[in-house]
Amino acid sequence: MTASLNNQVALITGASRGLGRAIALRLAAAGVSLILSARHRAALEQVAEAARALSGEPVVIAPLDVTDADQIDHVVEGAIAQFGRIDILINNAGLSWYKPLPEWSRDEILTVVNVNLTGLMLMTHAVVPHMIRQQGGQIVNIASDIGRRVVPNMAPYVAAKHGVVGFSGSLLREVKAHGVKVSVVLPGIIDTYFGGGEAGTRDETWALRPEAVAETVHTVLTQPPYVVLDEVTVHPLKQDF
Ligand code: NJP
């Protein structure tokens, strides 16, 4: 038996495009009220419009840079004021460059760690007290298969995603007694705008459709109350993993 998400409230980061957009549309179709966040307001508005077409539930946008703790507080407080609760947090915002370490600027290293890891921890830190108060909630952190292995030319990103996996497992052991689940999803290559790519240009046999990963996230979220999919890896069959 799977749990229903109908009437739950979800906050999604990185919702303006790519995987975050696909997760937003999948949850809208499941009857979830949505708070969509990313930096680009116009892109968020387009995703919100597409989500509203799938759902009778409220969909609001909350422009946010996940590296800014004040903006995180503002968005989380606004969500609680409007909806009274946050049932689901999807920490999805992420980015990287791909090049040997000496070619990375200091700013690029700091940005990759701040967006993929520090921002995720700060957002989680702001939301978890509400989930504990509610005695329930689900956090899904989008890491990467690179969070469990290593590849060259992305060392700061590899480090950040390993951090996401460690953070997720540690936090789960803290909060599960309060009915709060923490899951980490580790996808392989996805056909999005990641790393300067152009979504919709890759063969689906070697790059996952974002909708396929969104379906994985939906599966994670719809487990029975006493089951947690704590770590889920998903790959295109042809990827060399
Ligand atoms: O990438 P993309 P994905 N503050 O570039 C947002 C992981 N992953 O969908 O702020 C707030 O299409 C940005 O919005 P905006 C990856 O590490 C991917 O593939 O408006 N938001 C956009 O919505 C990441 O964790 C692959 O520019 C910020 C979104 O992030 C997740 O999948 C493989 C932000 C990025 O959309 C989704 O990435 C893998 C900030 N400072 C893991 N900076 C893959 N695609 O192959 C960026 O293993 N965003």
Mean pLDDT by 10-residue block, N- to C-terminus, for the chain (241 residues)? 87 98 98 98 98 97 98 98 98 98 98 98 98 98 98 98 99 98 98 92 90 98 97 94 82
Which atom of ligand 1 is the closest one to the Cα of 44? 20
Mention every residue, 6+ apart, whose C-beta is less than 8 A from residue 238. 205, 206
Which atom of ligand 1 is the closest one to the Cα of 186? 48
Q: From the CB of 140, is ligand 1 less than 6 Å away?
A: no
pLDDT tens for each residue of 43-79 = 999 999 999 999 999 999 999 999 999 999 999 999 9
Contact at 8 Å (CB) between 116 and 160?
yes
Task: Tell me the CA–centroid distance for residue 15 and ligand 1, in Å.
Answer: 8
Q: Known catalytic residue: 157?
A: yes
Which atom of ligand 1 is the closest one to the Cα of 111? 41
Q: Phi first, then psi: give them for residue 154, nearest 5 degrees.
A: -140, 35
pTM exceeding the 0.95 threshold for the entire prediction: yes
Task: Tell me the CA–centroid distance for residue 1 and ligand 1, in Å.
Answer: 32
Instruction: Tell me what pLDDT residue 240 has.
Output: 84
**Rounded Cα–Cα distance for residues 4 and 52 (Å):** 19
DSSP state of 154: -
185 in helix, strand or coil? strand
Q: From the CB of 132, is ligand 1 less than 6 Å away?
A: no
Instruction: Tell me what pLDDT residue 137 has.
Output: 98
